[in-house]
Structure 1
Amino acid sequence: MKSYINTEENGVYAPSSRAPLFQLKQPLLRCLALYAHMPWQFTLTALLFILVNAGMAWQLWLVGQIVQSIHVGEFVTRNMQGLPDFTNARHWLMLLIGVAIGRGILQYIGGVMSLIIGQELLYILRERILHQVQRLDLAYHWQHGIGEIVTRTTRDADKVRDALINFWRQVFEASIWVLISVTVLSVYHPLIGLGILLLVVAGMCLFVRHTNTLVILDREVGNAYDQVNQELSEGVNGIRVIKAFGLESPRTKHFASLVDTFVSHAHTALAFAAKRIPLPQMVIGFSQVWILAFGAYLVSKGTLNIGQLVAALLIANALVFRVEGIGRVMQVFADARASASRIWELLDEEPQILSGSHTLATQALGFRLTNVTTQAPNSDQVILHHCSLEVSPGETVAIVGATGAGKSSLAGLLPRLLDAKHGSVEIGSAWAGWHDVKTLNLQQLRKSVHVVPQESFLFSDTLAANLRLAKPDATDEELLQALHLAAADEVLEKLSDGLQTKIGDRGITLSGGQRQRISLARAFLSAPSILVLDDSTSALDAITERKVLDNIRNLRDTTGKNTTVLIIASKLSTILLADRVAMLAEGRMIAEGAHEDLIQAHFAYRELVGVQHG
């Protein structure tokens, strides 16, 4: 299917270049504006519904003509021999049947077209949401749960789709029928058409007035549904913890309470709609009374004939049915307005980390932090305070510190998973020059700097597919070599289908140590210039860790130079791998040097690593 998103722009996902078209005030109107992506389908569908409604008016006019023909005795006449002559009857009936068949065919095609473009719009919305989710910074995802994003992609998008499909039948078609019916009735008599128009406008105003309250109620329904989705996601992803602590019963009760809250909000919204719909429908229903009363008066005056009165009543009946249809789906449109608002809140978010334009020359890379200060997203809480550190290409440096010292935040600065509030983060070397990461192409930067987190994430796919995320064109031999470097040969041997084994959601079929080694193999396969290990060997035993760390010492990047390694370490065996060690305490760099020197000079360092000075 055709993509409606520019998938890459300077290395990041970006919205379509046609985005300014959709900067409209009402979220649902912005969704309707997406029809601009399919102009010929929209035009054809609109034309079909116009023809269908014109055919309906013609059909009802014909019925009126037939009734009048019967009334004056011209429908069936007698020939010269006194026998019944059905010529006029056949003429009118064949014309009526032809119009009905033609209108039915056009209505079928129009209905199918509206369903097709409804699904196309749903695809566009979901594609945009997915790209936007990938495009936004980690700061956004830290503040919004997975349940909220899933709700926008599924429930909210479906409700907008339902409204856009009903738009054709209940809004567009009804609007066309109002115009046609008022025009036809005005031809019969201007006051008939004017009376109908006033009643319809009054009824629609009541609908709109009630819809605003429904939108508020439906936003509460959507927010409650977010909580249900979030709880469900956490219940599935955290199933090990739940079972380990025997939390099945309290978690089930909590989930049930969230569902009850959702049902309560949904019931309130439905009850409000049910109470408010009858009044505007009754107002519109008076159009039949108006035509019957005023039409009978006109017939008595000879201004209107019986056939025209019948046709007018049939037209009014169709009008009442069409406009009342809007009332019946008022809840759908209110849901859609609330859902569209929630969708555009997500789509309108702008990433704070934007790609630069500069590219790095092929060279060995180190990094330099100068007086760096960082803060928690949307908070005044300072994580790192005026930190400075320089690491030369090919050097291995360990970062140590107590929990909450800011080690992971420092690691995230290099690939720009977050940006420094003050100070500079630079990539390069003393002899080839330094480049501020904010000026660099983001895609190239993240290929050059690879972070392996402590919590290894694997996708629900084959082992080979998970590894090839780092290098899509990697051969099986390269995959095996990467697994060997990560000391994961025995992991591969235990998998029934080797590289083609599906490893389950988040790698749930593997142990923590096995997942860490596969994540390390994936990092090795990418051959980064700078490798950041965020305590990513914590689940390995001492022997396996030593094998992996020895292999890391011999890593080469794409230039053939030693890979620069930054290790966030908590174990002494890991720290001993480093050429030197930097110590963080409460976000400040308080010590830096060789392990032996820090043991001699710093009591806090000795206490942290558990080594006695002797």
Structure 2
Amino acid sequence: MSKTYPLLRCLALYREMPWRFALTATLFAVGNLSMAWQQWLLGRAIHDVELGKAVVAHSDGTLDYSVALGWLAILVAIAFGRGVVQYLSGLMALIIGQDLLFILRERIFSQVQHLDLAYHREHGVGGMVTRTTRDADKLRDALVNFWRQVFETALLIIATVGMLCWYSPLLGLVPLVITLAGMAILVSQTDHLVTLDRAVGQAYDEVNQNLTEGVSGVRVIKAFSLEPSRIADFSNQVNAFAFHSRQALAYACSHIPLPQIIIALSHVWVLAYGAHLIGKGELNLGEFIASVLLANTLVLRVEGIGRVMQVFADARASAARIWELLDAKPGIISGTEKLPQGELGVHLRDVGLHPAAQDNAILQHCSLDINPGEIVALVGTTGSGKSTLLSLLPRLLDADEGTITIGSDALGWKNIKQLDTTDLRRRVHVVPQESFLFSDTLAANMRLAKPDASDVEILEALRLASAEDVLRRLEYGLDTRIGDRGITLSGGQRQRICLARALLSNASILGLDDATSALDATTERRIIDNLRELKQSQGRGLSLLIVSSKLSTVLLADKVALLAQGQIVAVGTHQQLAQHNSIYRELMGVADGH
């Protein structure tokens, strides 16, 4: 049922705030029940006027207004009280609506952080942003309208129909049947509205994705003078979004009037049947007027549901999209074991990875040994699976077959699927080629790896990454804000800062996914020499797996692993591979034996 009616699951979120929910529900109940009571009292007052009791003429010609003034005071007091209650109930509804919006967005963001990279690659940034913004906002609107339209209307139907039945059973039951029939038609139309709004949501995803790429890729766009074509593409997507939105609105506008007309017939019934009852003497004038007022209130309130039916249809589609995300199960489940303290190595045995949407395997039968403290270069043509293999080590992706173990002969070896992922990723760190820095200070970006790191530790990490000159050029040193994605820094500076951040985490195994591609050979050699000296200077050895296509980088490694068509086809030193492997010689551009 929860998957069929995703909007009901959102209503269940009210249990996060039980006292406010109970208070708001009570205020709405008091406000709507008092409306029926107010109209019933108005009928009694009119009946007193009809009988000549409201204003009494005495024999001396004076008029006694005490009864009329009493009724006036009672009705004014009830109206004032209802106004206060309605204000408080509306305010509470808005407050808990905002609280629910916060809860939803927090859960979405948390889920996005926990889902694995495979899910993100499949769904893209635009869909995530849309669910967090547009879809969550639509749910908030629906939840607020739930109080004002659905809950209030249900209470009002109970109160008004009950009061009308008090006067005469048929006077109340017929409007109830008519109202329920009209509402059933309204509800039956929402399925198509939901389908239309799903198309609107998908179009909005594409708009969001294009906008995100247009902002983050502005350098590429300007470099190739792509502004006109990008603007044209964006305009086309906005027009598609507007087209689907107009379709949804047109359907709502053309189909909602029919049930509203049916619901309005209950007003006609009360007028006609009420007049009949007056003629038979079974209903007085005050009760008739009260019945008409009750019917009028009922019709207007139910018609209000029709006017917001588009909101509920939109919210139902948005709720389905949000719960699709929240119900997604992470493909990578954390183990519970911890890695032992000390130098660590890696063993890969017949590792394979087969994406569900592709026939060809990305990796197959990959076996490799990285000893503790060893530097291994991983080389291969573009698309051979180097980055994918590197992502397996901290379990950013999971292998479909084979085993990966981490440890040493002295400390023992552990299967990474049995390890706690937080501990694993603290000890096994991968620095991607894309150097991502947040729009914050240099110190804040560094402390992402180690929140309690001192300035001395940060400076040492920058020294190891040969980034002291970057720090010297910054106006405010560690407190300098480095802009969105590190835009104020060059590519090489960003790479060294990201490498320093990884070193600050005290990782035992470090993967560099072409993370030194923007560095010159001298700087690169200085960094590798610094890392080799870690054992002597700090007493800890660091195992390195470096993905690179630069010969200068490969020459710094202890051994080289050659990856071709998803398989590790050769492992050895540079001299061995250059002498015996033609694929390696062609890839690195070296002569036989060099």
1:129 aligns with 2:108: yes
**1:52 pairs with 2:52:** no
Farther-moved stretch of structure 1 (98-107 vs 600-609)? 600-609
Does residue 237 (structure 1) correspond to residue 231 (structure 2)? The answer is no
C-alpha contact (below 8 Å) 1:486/1:521 kept by paired residues: yes
Match of 2:122 in 1: 143
Q: Which moved more, 1:80-89 or 1:452-461?
A: 80-89
Q: CA deviation at 1:533?
A: 0.7
Query: What is the letter of the counterpart of residue 258 of structure 1?
Result: Q
CA shift, 1:555, in A, is: 3.1
Aligned-residue CA RMSD in angstroms? 1.4
The residue number in structure 1 matching 2:270 is 291
Partner of 2:449: 470
Match for residue 206 of structure 2 among 227, 236, 240:
227
Candidates 573, 577, 593, aligned match of 2:572: 593
Aligned match of 1:15? none
After superposition, residues 248-327 of structure 1 pair within 5 angstroms as: 248-327=227-306
Instruction: Could you list the structure 1 runs, at least 4 aligned residues long, displaced by more than 4 angstroms after superposition.
Output: 556-559
CA deviation vs aligned residue, 1:497-532 (integer Å, no higher than 9, x gap):
221111111112211111101100101111101011
Q: Distance in 2 between matches of 1:367 and 1:161?
A: 49
Q: Structure 2: where are the runs of 5+ without partners?
A: none
Of the candidates 410, 415, 422, which is equivalent to residue 443 of structure 1? 422
Matched AA of 2:589? G
Tell me, in whole angstroms, the C-alpha distance in 2 between the residues paired with 1:108 and 1:413.
57
Deviations 1:9-50 (A, max 9, x none): xxxxxxxxxxxxx94531100101101111111111111000
**Which residue does 1:573 correspond to in 2?**
552
CA distance in 2, matches of 1:37, 1:488: 48
The 2-side partners of 1:478 and 1:561 are apart by 15
Aligned to 2:76: 97
Identity of aligned residues (%): 58
From the superposition, tell whether residues 559 and 551 of structure 1 become closer, same or farther in structure 2 (CA, over 3 Å): closer
- Could you tell me how far apart the structure 2 residues matched to 1:505 and 1:147 are? 19
Superimposed CA distance per residue, residues 146-168 of structure 1 (whole angstroms, 9 cap, x where no aligned partner): 11110000000000000000000
Query: CA–CA distance in 1 between the matches of 2:581 and 2:249?
Result: 68
Match of 1:499 among 463, 478, 501: 478
Pair 1:392-2:371 in alignment: yes
8 A Cα contact 1:529 1:558, kept in partner: no
Paired position in structure 1 for 2:410: 431
Normalising by structure 2, we get a TM-score of 0.98
Number of equivalent positions: 593
Tell me if 1:362 matches 2:338. Answer: no
Contact 2:350 2:402 in 1 (8 A): yes
Contact 2:54/2:67 (8 A) holds in 1? yes
- Matches for 1:200-215 after TM superposition, within 5 Å: 200-215=179-194
2:519 paired residue among 531, 534, 540 = 540
Structure 1 residue identity aligned to 2:386: K
Match of 1:119 among 98, 111, 132: 98
- Partner-residue secondary structure (3-state), 1:474: coil
Query: Does the CA-based 8 Å contact 1:527-1:558 persist in structure 2?
Result: no
Q: Compute the displacement of 1:67 (Å).
A: 1.2
Supply the AA of the counterpart residue of 2:36. A
Tell me what 1:41 maps to.
20
The one-letter code sitting in structure 1 at the alignment partner of 2:486 is G
Match of 1:14? Answer: none
Q: Does 1:486 align with 2:462?
A: no
Counterpart check, 1:161 vs 2:140 = yes
Conserved 8 A contact 1:145-1:230: yes
**Structure 1 residue 71 displacement after superposition:** 1.1
Distance in structure 1 (CA, Å) of the matches to 2:18 and 2:34? 24
Structure 1 residue 81 displacement after superposition: 3.4
SS of residue matched to 1:570: coil
Separation in 1 of the partners of 2:211 and 2:5? 31
1:107 equivalenced with 2:80 (yes/no): no
Partner SS for 2:362: strand
CA apart distance, 1:377:
5.2
Structure 2 match to 1:3: none
1:18 corresponding residue in structure 2: none
**1:504–1:377 distance in 2 versus 1, CA, 3 Å:** farther
Q: Work out the CA distance in 1 between the residues paired with 2:64 and 2:353.
A: 95
**TM-score between the two structures when normalised by the length of structure 1:** 0.95
Could you tell me which runs of 5 or more consecutive residues in structure 1 were left unpaired when the two chains were aligned: 1-21
What CA distance in whole angstroms lies between the structure 1 residues aligned with 2:557 and 2:17?
59
Task: Note if contact 1:528-1:558 (Cα within 8 Å) is conserved in structure 2.
Answer: no
1:358–1:440 CA contact under 8 A, matched in 2: yes
Alignment pair present for 1:182 and 2:161: yes
- Cα distance in 2 for residues equivalent to 1:537 and 1:224: 39
